[in-house]
């Protein structure tokens, strides 16, 4: 009888995408450190209330280069893990879509904070590509409105001041409860409710491994803490997972 392989849950934060050219928010060189006022650009209240905030927000998206970003070795390592037949799910705080762009099946990725690849009208709810909206910004529109009804367009992300989708959160909770190994990769583990997921996994008997350049609130509870660059550390961890070296017990 074939032994059942452990389920691996991987929570990913901004740190996994920095090698793809997407800056993080809370690190020493993060966006909030360099420009604390930038947080209002992704906060729902100011965004809906102020055309000037939206104008700056569109410019930030245009200049961030996220639409052109490509997966790096960290993203590809998780694809290798999935293709090796290891049961796994990625729970990502990122909105860049790079896990799926790297080749992970959509059913293996839970996007906790939505996706920046699309925009949605706040009135008629029509969804359209972010790339099309950014083309309008590049052509000179400060605050592109919905082409259908003229109302405000917003990214299909969970902005500050908004709650996570309940169904998405339930999926993540179920994965955290069921996994035997929980990797927290490139996340400050400070943003709720995603920061609760490692605790849920620990409470249900999982082994926790933290891969992050800076200390996190969970370092003391982790079986292993890795400070190496993620693009170097994650391929090594994946090889150990495929070989069964990190299975619980």
Residue-number span of the structural domain to which 195 is assigned: 1-22+70-113+163-249
Residue 1, pLDDT score: 38
- Do residues 185 and 76 both lie within one domain? yes
Instruction: Tell me what the mean pLDDT of segment 122-145 comes to.
Output: 94
Half-sphere exposure of 195 toward its Cβ, with a 13 Å CA cutoff?
10
Q: Which residue has the higher pLDDT, 68 or 139?
A: 139
What's the rounded Cα separation, in Å, for the pair 111 and 118? 13
Instruction: Tell me what the mean pLDDT of segment 204-219 comes to.
Output: 96
CATH of the domain at 224: 3.40.50.1220
What's the rounded Cα separation, in Å, for the pair 17 and 68? 12
Q: What is the DSSP string of 96-124?
A: S-HHHHHT--GGGEEETTEEEEEEEETTT
Alpha helices in the chain (DSSP H): 31-34, 44-49, 51-64, 73-83, 98-102, 130-138, 166-178, 197-203, 230-242
Q: How far apart are the first and last CA of the chain?
A: 20
pLDDT digit string, tens, across residues 22-36: 776 555 555 555 566
Tokens 């690190």 identify what position?
27
Q: What percent of the chain lies above the pLDDT cut of 70?
A: 90
Question: At 247, is the secondary structure helix, strand, or coil?
Answer: coil
Residue 244, pLDDT score: 78
pTM of the model: 0.85
The token pair that represents 76 in the structure block: 């590809």
Among 1-5, 27-31, 118-122, the range with the most confident prediction by mean pLDDT is 118-122
Instruction: Tell me what the mean pLDDT of segment 7-15 comes to.
Output: 96
Whether 113 is catalytic is yes
Q: Exposed, middle or buried: residue 166 (CB in 10 Å: 0-12, 13-18, 19+)?
A: exposed
CATH of the domain at 153: 3.30.1600.10
Active-site hit among 75, 99, 113, 204: 113
- Do residues 224 and 149 both lie within one domain? no
- Do residues 17 and 32 both lie within one domain? no
């Amino acid at each position: 009888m074939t032994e059942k392989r452990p389920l691996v849950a991987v929570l990913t934060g901004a740190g996994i995408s920095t090698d793809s050219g997407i800056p993080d928010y809370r690190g020493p060189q993060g966006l909030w450190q360099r420009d604390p006022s930038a947080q209002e650009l992704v906060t729902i209240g100011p965004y809906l209330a102020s055309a000037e905030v939206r104008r700056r927000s569109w410019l930030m998206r245009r200049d961030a280069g996220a639409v052109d970003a490509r997966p790096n070795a960290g993203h590809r390592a998780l694809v290798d893990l999935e293709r090796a037949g290891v049961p796994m799910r990625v729970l990502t705080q990122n909105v860049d879509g790079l896990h799926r762009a790297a080749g992970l099946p959509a059913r293996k990725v839970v996007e906790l904070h939505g996706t920046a690849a699309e925009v949605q009208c706040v009135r008629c709810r029509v969804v359209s590509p972010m790339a099309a909206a950014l083309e309008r910004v590049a052509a000179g529109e400060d605050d592109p409105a919905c082409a259908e009804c003229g109302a405000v367009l917003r990214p299909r992300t969970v902005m500050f001041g908004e709650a996570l989708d309940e169904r998405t959160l339930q999926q993540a909770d179920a994965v955290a409860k069921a996994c035997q190994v929980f990797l927290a990769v490139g996340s400050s583990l400070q943003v709720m409710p995603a920061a609760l997921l490692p605790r849920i996994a620990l409470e249900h008997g999982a082994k926790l491994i933290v891969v992050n350049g800076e200390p996190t609130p969970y370092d003391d509870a982790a079986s292993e803490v890795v400070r190496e660059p993620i693009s170097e550390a994650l391929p090594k961890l994946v090889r150990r997972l495929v070989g069964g070296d990190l299975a619980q017990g």
